[in-house]
Amino acid sequence: MSTVTDSLVLARRNVIRMSRIPEVLLFGLIQPVMFVLLFTYVFGGSLKIGNTTDAAVYKNFLMAGIFAQTVTFATAGASAGIAEDMHKGLVDRFRSLPMARGAVLTGRTLADLAQTALTLLVLAIVALLAGWRPGYAEPTNLARVLGGFGLLLLLGYAFTWIGALIGLSVRTPEAATSGGLIWLFPVTFISNAFVDTGQMTPWLRHVADWNPFSATVQACRELFGNPGVTGSDAWPMQHPVWASLLYSVLIVAVFRTLAVRKYRRAAE
């Protein structure tokens, strides 16, 4: 319980700090909105989904990918924030306090999760205004839609722990920002987020179908009742909800362990 309490206290501290830098939150909201508008109106109608190039089909196919990209790109902010805390000597200050060592990282990741949830809410409103409709391809309900957003937040939280490990492994916040982004581009683009993987070469489609990012995107499309990737016999594409849960929990378990261990070594 002391670990939980310490983590919540530090999460509150990070949320307060974020609220005092509104431009960071503002820019974090603008970027995904730009992605929605650009992909919808630039690529809509030019990419083939299944057997059609209908712009409305692509629009509803796209949104789950944009949502997932948004929550994972928050990883770069987590990397930079933790690297900045390390660079400013915040670790040394916390070492003098009777608190759980892992609470520093857990508090930071929980604060990032709160910011991601706010960004996702704004993005969903923009998506609705742009023409995204849950239940476009198949019937759905509010519980399933909320479940899809829950999977997105879980994926974002899992990837934040990867960002935490990166932030602890570099020397400067600038390096953490670059390191937090560079690996996300192949993860998000070699996936089913923006294109139907059926249009890819066989080996690349295999990689995309087993990508943890793709599993969450496909799960959200299924829960949202939106058009999804069809014709793949890969297990994550056949059981995307379970695959998404499994991937996210596994990533949290592995990278939280590695990040806390790295933090303890840095604090010694």
What is the structure's pLDDT at 95? Answer: 66
Threshold 0.85, pTM exceeds: yes
Q: For the segment 172-226, what is each residue's pLDDT rounded down to a tens digit?
A: 877 887 777 888 889 999 999 988 888 889 999 999 999 999 999 999 999 999 9
Q: Is residue 191 exposed (0-12), middle (13-18) or buried (19+ Cβ within 10 Å)?
A: buried
What is the structure's pLDDT at 236? Answer: 93
Q: How confident is the model at residue 266 (pLDDT cuts 50, 70, 90)?
A: low
Which tokens hold the place of 91?
């670790």
What is the structure's pLDDT at 244? Answer: 96
Contact 67, 120 (CB under 8 A): yes
Residue 20, helix vs strand vs coil: coil
In the chain, where are the structural domains located? Answer: 2-267
Residue 49, helix vs strand vs coil: strand
Give the mean model confidence (pLDDT) for residues 129-154: 92
Q: Rounded distance, CA 80 to CA 245, Å?
A: 27
Give the mean model confidence (pLDDT) for residues 232-246: 93
